[in-house]
Homo-oligomer: A and B are copies of this chain.
Amino acid sequence: MADAKVRIGIVGATGYAGVELVRIVSANPGMSLERITSTREAGTRIDALYPGLIGTCDLTLVAPDADDLGESCDLVFLAVPHTASLAITPELVSRGVAVVDLSADFRLSDPEVYRRWYDTPHTAPELLSQAVYGIPELNRDQVVDLGTRPRDLPRIVANPGCYPTAATFAVAPLLRRDGMVDLSCPVIVDAASGVSGAGRGATARTHFCSADESYQAYGVGRHRHLPEIVQNMTRLAQRQVSVVFTPHLAPMKRGILATVYVTLSHDLEAGELRAAFEQDYGRERFVHLLPEGVQPATGSVAGTENVQIGVARAHGTRVAVITCAIDNLVRGAAGQAVQNANLLCGLNEFSGLDTPMPIV
């Protein structure tokens, strides 16, 4: 029946991306949440773990089971660590279930690059080659097309990483335009993330007394999002792009700000740069170029699917400085996953994602 809701499962519902999926799917009138799973916390009600869900979702976590998911769900979100998606995706695909994978397992098109950065072989290269990496505003059609495939073919969306999402939105209009960027210089991506980006695990680094009132870089020059950023930029530029990426941990719960330094081929005016962004993003509901001289703040996109972008030129150089703010758990994970799922399932792309969030 045309009106039937898409039946949804969330594997790994207790992590931060998982619980945001629970929230957003619950608010999506085109979806019905059928299963939420957790290997470790099966048997617990999700709203006992997260009292913020009281009144929104009273489901009980179950252990993940492919047969059960295959029968009860049309689409499953995988909010699990890398390699865990590799294990479960083939089982879901073979049961005709569509998969939106929030892990890194289907993001890197070259299984060898995956092996090198994740220290483990890619065990499903045949599925990898059919998965679609989905940033809707950049390749909406591919995700829609995926949704038209027959159920016995793999329908897998590789949901982008948080840093790559922010970095890619920041430079896509420039890299796409042939000759605008001097690719002999590396693109420098300096980014700050809220602590939720480090996950729900209680560690020395996520302890309030470590993270609060402090700011520091981590994983300098070797963060696993680097090859994904390189892949995205290289695709956009249709030439190899060299990238330097430095993530930082900022004392806040949510949000990513990517400050991206791009060397321009010639001395373009800020207005010319801005025109490229306007042209590419001007009609997008969730992507907003800020007025000249205004820089986006992560707080202004907290909890939303929005992308806010500021464009500036660095005094006396050929460098453009683009800053791009997203919410790491929504646009950087659960929200973009739902946007992809909406496209895949033929729902309104914005369904569940367009509620305004607290302003202060």
Residues of A near any B CB (own CB < 8 A): 16, 19-20, 22-23, 26-27, 48, 50-57, 185-186, 188, 190, 192, 194-196, 200, 202-204, 206-218, 220-222, 226, 242, 244-246, 248, 250-255, 257, 259, 261, 285-286, 288, 290-291, 294-304, 306, 308, 310, 312-317, 319, 321, 323, 325, 327, 329-330, 355-360
Q: Is the CB of A215 within 8 A of B196?
A: no
Q: Is the CB of A259 within 8 A of B242?
A: no
Q: Is the CB of A52 within 8 A of B213?
A: no
Tell me the bound Cα distance from A319 to B184 in angstroms. Answer: 13
Tell me the bound Cα distance from A213 to B51 in angstroms. Answer: 15
Q: Is the CB of B297 within 8 A of A259?
A: no
Q: Is the CB of B288 within 8 A of A360?
A: no
Neighbouring B residues of A329 by C-beta, 8 Å: 358, 360
Q: Is the CB of A321 within 8 A of B207?
A: no
Q: Is the CB of B195 within 8 A of A192?
A: no
Neighbouring B residues of A51 by C-beta, 8 Å: 290, 294, 296-297, 300, 308
A337 CB to closest chain B CB (Å) equals 15
Tell me the bound Cα distance from A358 to B302 in angstroms. Answer: 9
Q: Is the CB of B216 within 8 A of A297?
A: yes
Q: Is the CB of A246 within 8 A of B220?
A: no
Q: Is the CB of A50 within 8 A of B359?
A: yes
Tell me the bound Cα distance from A265 to B253 in angstroms. Answer: 39
Neighbouring B residues of A245 by C-beta, 8 Å: 314
Q: Is the CB of A358 within 8 A of B20?
A: yes
Q: Is the CB of A216 within 8 A of B358?
A: no
Asked whether A52 and B301 contact (CB < 8 A) given A188-B188, A209-B16, A218-B295, the answer is yes
Neighbouring B residues of A22 by C-beta, 8 Å: 359
A3 CB to closest chain B CB (Å) equals 19
